[in-house]
């Protein structure tokens, strides 16, 4: 008689064990992985700067969460989808990585997101732009942090059309990111009453000579040549457009331009160009303070991707602290329930689709004479409020958001 | 039709770069039997050297066009003397591996120092602007690229095919031991040839600096095509590399007009077809 309760107790304890384990930190460590392009075409806009940003976030948080150490690992995905998904698998299966940040380039992010969802680990996208990551490709364990193509298309596209640039020709990077950016911008241009006259798609990465694509853009007679590419591709396009006399007869709209691109082009070549950004270092005391700390270590001002990595890792660590566990479901719920308030975003919320909706900024590149100090490159023309900057939950076709209960939606 | 002419002219311009680069590669392979994988990196270093000379020393474009190839040629001489020389007795795979390793080191160092967004080298003032040809706007600088590379290629061809020095070189390609037996200093010739090949790569780099963004990866994106050009032309054939370089540029231009998506693949399709029909390349001889 007396043995039965004891056995029952033991059984109960065994049954309860998984829940008890979930209440603390798995494997006694919270591991953050930064998977990025360390040496390739996007390594200046993300790369080592993203790793530094994550390290700064961990240090600022205190290096420990729930009494357990926070560790940082990083790897180079070489812009290859297979390398990215294999690294993610190895990190999840053998190295207890809890969360992967950055994932610059949509082809790598698209490869890692399903793996993370399958293993119930979190992805914090800062580098990639594809809008569908919180649309039809959304997962329950993903947050798209910094920008998406929809936001770029709306910010830059709408403003350019409003100023009279109503006929467009696209020079597009021929992979998921470029095509998605072209598609989003086409919608915006058409909705605003403009016309798209055509497009030329170039292999990426690996194209250095854009003259033949630019010639096609030139003979189309479009007022605006939209550059649906990124990094070195954009920089070479802008440079060669000047050379071939595309500008100033036609205007360029760089749909994704980073401050590192402007830095390497020089203001003389880039001046006057409109661009949409999630972050600029010289906006207020808070952004300046953080950026100058970053600059002291990196010798370059942060891009929006790098600032986004800091912000997303910090928000993740705060959510682990608040949830009392590093269990992905609990942390994700906490992340979505808590507004983001830091130098990067004010009162921004993560929707049920995983998209962080925050203010975006329309900027114009200064002329050399207007630049008063190093890295003084942008004039912020206007702030695009979060509600206008990003698509609504309804506009995104994320299956998760539709099935989400109203209670979750409210959070 | 206008678009076609435009694309063909652009093809001709790109073809001149290919010719300039594959020429150096062909000369090195012809005499040394070394597949110089570092050619792309040497081209990149030429562009960077021009940029550094302008930024830190205020050296202008035209001086850079003379000084940078000379300096890089000396670097080539050092590489040949210190490293490459030790591998002549071995399978030429070793030379390929060595130069590939040198490429990775050079790209890594420049990446570390300057990042991958690269830097902008301005078009020299004398060559700014352009001419409207009716079917396209031709920047003066691009026209300059075509003219200079044709001159350099023709001069190299002349030296190799029509002078005594060239005769030694060709004899060395054929049978280095016999040539040495005649009292010609073949090892010195090897060293200078490698130096000259590297100088040509650096020269192409300086030519490219005002056109392309100067980045550590600029060489690796062009070197694959250049290798294909050398293979199509016939490994080691001087005339083959020059004509094929220009020809491939034109084929690319034509493809960009007809079916742009295939423009990056067409080179390799041509290569496969040529190798099927003529395994030694268009101008090559079966050894």
| Contacts of B126 by beta carbon, 8 Å cutoff, 6+ apart | none
> What does the pLDDT read at residue A407?
41
Q: Please say if the pLDDT value at position A152 is more than 60.
A: yes
Contact: A264, B221; criterion CB under 8 Å: no
Q: What is the ipTM of this complex?
A: 0.81
Domain assignment present for residue B269? The answer is yes
Q: Could you tell me the two tokens for A161?
A: 């059309």
Identify the band that residue A209 occupies on the pLDDT scale cut at 50, 70 and 90: confident
Domain assignment present for residue B233? The answer is yes
Contact: B221, A231; criterion CB under 8 Å: no
Nearest chain A residue to B135 by CA distance is A219
- The closest CB to that of A264, out of B2, B117, B142, belongs to B117
- Chain A residues whose CB is inside 8 A of the B119 CB are 264
- Chain A residues whose CB is inside 8 A of the B212 CB are 208-209, 236, 239
Burial zone of A387 (CB within 10 Å; 0-12 exposed, 13-18 middle, 19+ buried): exposed
CATH number for B90: 1.10.3470
| Contacts of A326 by beta carbon, 8 Å cutoff, 6+ apart | A25, A26, A30, A65, A66, A98, A320
d(CA B169, nearest CA chain A) in Å: 35
- Chain A residues whose CB is inside 8 A of the B120 CB are 239, 264-266, 269
- Chain A residues whose CB is inside 8 A of the B114 CB are none
pLDDT per residue over B96-151, tens digit each?
A: 999 999 999 999 999 888 877 788 898 898 998 888 888 888 899 999 999 999 99
> What does the pLDDT read at residue B177?
86
Contact: A40, B116; criterion CB under 8 Å: yes
- The closest CB to that of A219, out of B3, B120, B141, belongs to B3
Identify the band that residue A341 occupies on the pLDDT scale cut at 50, 70 and 90: very high
Domain ranges, residue B181 = 2-277
**Number of independent structural domains in chain B:** 1
Contact: A300, B115; criterion CB under 8 Å: yes
Roughly what angle, to the nearest 10 degrees, separates helices B140-162 and B164-174? 70
Contact: B141, A243; criterion CB under 8 Å: yes
- The closest CB to that of B264, out of A42, A45, A203, belongs to A203
Domains of chain A: 26-147+283-355+391-410 (3.40.50.2300), 150-277+361-389 (3.40.50.2300)
Q: Please say if the pLDDT value at position A191 is more than 70.
A: yes
Contact: B130, A245; criterion CB under 8 Å: yes
Contact: A216, B3; criterion CB under 8 Å: yes
Domain assignment present for residue B272? The answer is yes
Nearest chain A residue to B104 by CA distance is A39
> What does the pLDDT read at residue A7?
55
> What does the pLDDT read at residue B89?
82
Domain assignment present for residue B186? The answer is yes
Identify the band that residue A309 occupies on the pLDDT scale cut at 50, 70 and 90: very high
Residue A17's CB is within 10 A of a number of other CB atoms, namely: 10
Determine the 3-state secondary structure of B243 from DSSP.
helix
The ranges of chain B with pLDDT < 70 are 1, 286-287
Mean of pLDDT over chain A? 90
Do A103 and A126 contact (CB within 8 A), yes or no? Answer: yes
Domain assignment present for residue B282? The answer is no
User: Which of B140, B144, B114 has its CA nearest to residue B128?
Assistant: B140
The Cα–Cα gap between B286 and A261 comes to: 49
The Cα–Cα gap between A55 and B182 comes to: 67
pLDDT per residue over A107-125, tens digit each?
A: 999 999 999 999 999 999 9
Domain assignment present for residue B166? The answer is yes
Residue B280's CB is within 10 A of a number of other CB atoms, namely: 17
Q: Could you tell me the two tokens for A343?
A: 């130098």
Number of cross-chain residue pairs from A and B with Cβ atoms under 8 Å apart: 102
Contact: A243, B142; criterion CB under 8 Å: yes
Domain assignment present for residue B283? The answer is no
CA distances from B148 to A49, A116, B16, B156 (A): 41, 54, 9, 12
Q: Which residue, among A212, A219, A229, would best test binding to B if mutated, counting the most B CBs under 10 Å from its CB?
A: A212
Contact: A266, B120; criterion CB under 8 Å: yes
Domain assignment present for residue B177? The answer is yes
- Chain B residues whose CB is inside 8 A of the A200 CB are 260
CA distances from A387 to A136, A144, A355, A384 (A): 20, 16, 12, 8
Contact: B221, A205; criterion CB under 8 Å: yes
> What does the pLDDT read at residue A57?
97
């Amino acid at each position: 008689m007396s043995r039965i309760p004891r056995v029952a107790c033991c059984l109960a304890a065994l049954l309860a064990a998984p829940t008890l384990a979930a209440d603390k930190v798995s494997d006694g460590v919270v591991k953050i992985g930064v998977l990025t392009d360390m040496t390739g075409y996007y390594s200046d806009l993300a790369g080592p700067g993203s790793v530094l940003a994550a390290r700064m976030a961990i240090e600022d948080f205190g290096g420990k969460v729930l009494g357990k150490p926070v560790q940082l690992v990083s790897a180079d995905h070489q812009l290859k989808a297979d390398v990215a998904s294999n690294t993610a698998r190895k990190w999840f299966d053998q190295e207890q990585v809890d969360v992967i940040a950055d994932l610059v380039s949509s082809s790598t992010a698209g490869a890692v997101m399903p793996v993370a969802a399958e293993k119930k680990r979190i992805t914090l996208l800062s580098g990639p732009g594809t809008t569908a990551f919180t649309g039809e490709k959304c997962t329950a364990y993903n947050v798209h942090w910094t920008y998406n193509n929809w936001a770029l298309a709306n910010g830059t596209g709408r403003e350019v059309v409003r100023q009279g640039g109503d006929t467009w020709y696209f020079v597009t990077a021929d992979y998921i990111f470029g095509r998605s950016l072209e598609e989003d911008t086409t919608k915006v241009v058409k909705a605003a009453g403009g016309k798209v006259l055509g497009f030329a798609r170039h292999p990426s990465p690996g194209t250095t000579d854009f003259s033949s694509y630019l010639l096609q853009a030139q003979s189309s007679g479009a007022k605006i040549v939209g550059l649906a590419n990124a990094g070195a591709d954009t920089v070479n396009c802008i440079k060669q457009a000047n050379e071939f006399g595309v500008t100033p007869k036609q205007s360029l709209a760089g749909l994704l331009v980073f401050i590192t691109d402007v830095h390497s082009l020089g203001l003389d070549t880039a001046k006057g160009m409109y661009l949409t950004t999630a972050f600029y270092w010289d906006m207020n005391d808070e952004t300046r303070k953080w950026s100058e700390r970053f600059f002291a270590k990196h010798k370059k001002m942060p891009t929006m991707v790098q600032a986004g990595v800091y912000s997303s890792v910090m928000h993740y660590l705060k959510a682990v602290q608040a949830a009392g566990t590093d269990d992905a479901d609990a942390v994700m719920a906490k992340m979505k329930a808590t507004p983001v308030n830091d130098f990067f975003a004010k009162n921004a919320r993560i929707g049920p689709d995983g998209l962080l909706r925050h203010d975006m900024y329309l900027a114009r590149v200064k002329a050399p004479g207007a630049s008063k100090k190093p890295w003084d490159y942008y004039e912020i023309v206007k702030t695009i409020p979060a509600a206008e900057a990003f698509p609504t939950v309804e506009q995104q076709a994320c299956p998760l958001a539709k099935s989400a209960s109203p209670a979750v939606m409210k959070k | 039709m206008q678009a076609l002419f435009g694309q063909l002219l652009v093809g001709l311009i790109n073809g001149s770069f290919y010719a300039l680069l594959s020429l150096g590669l062909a000369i090195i392979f012809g005499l040394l039997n070394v597949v110089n994988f570092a050619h792309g990196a040497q081209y990149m270093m030429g562009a960077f050297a021009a940029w550094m000379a302008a930024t830190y020393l205020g050296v202008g474009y035209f001086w850079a066009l003379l000084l940078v190839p000379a300096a890089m040629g000396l670097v080539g001489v050092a590489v040949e003397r210190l490293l490459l020389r030790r591998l002549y007795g071995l399978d030429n795979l070793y030379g390929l591996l060595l130069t590939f390793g040198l490429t990775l080191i050079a790209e890594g160092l420049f990446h570390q120092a300057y990042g991958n967004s690269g830097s902008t080298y301005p078009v020299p003032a004398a060559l700014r602007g352009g001419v409207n040809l009716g079917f396209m706007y031709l920047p003066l600088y691009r026209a300059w690229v075509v003219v200079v590379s044709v001159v350099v290629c023709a001069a190299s061809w002349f030296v190799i095919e029509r002078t005594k020095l060239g005769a030694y070189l060709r004899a060395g390609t054929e049978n280095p031991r016999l040539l040495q037996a005649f009292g010609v200093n073949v090892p010195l010739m090897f060293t200078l040839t490698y130096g000259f090949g590297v100088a040509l790569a650096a020269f192409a780099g300086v030519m490219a600096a005002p056109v392309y963004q100067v980045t550590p990866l600029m060489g690796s994106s062009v070197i694959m095509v250049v290798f294909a050009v050398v293979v199509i032309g016939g490994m080691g054939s001087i005339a083959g590399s020059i004509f094929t370089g220009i020809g491939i540029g034109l084929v690319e231009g034509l493809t960009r007009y007809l079916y742009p998506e295939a423009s990056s693949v067409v080179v390799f399709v041509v290569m496969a077809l040529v190798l099927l029909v003529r395994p030694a390349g268009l101008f090559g001889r079966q050894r």
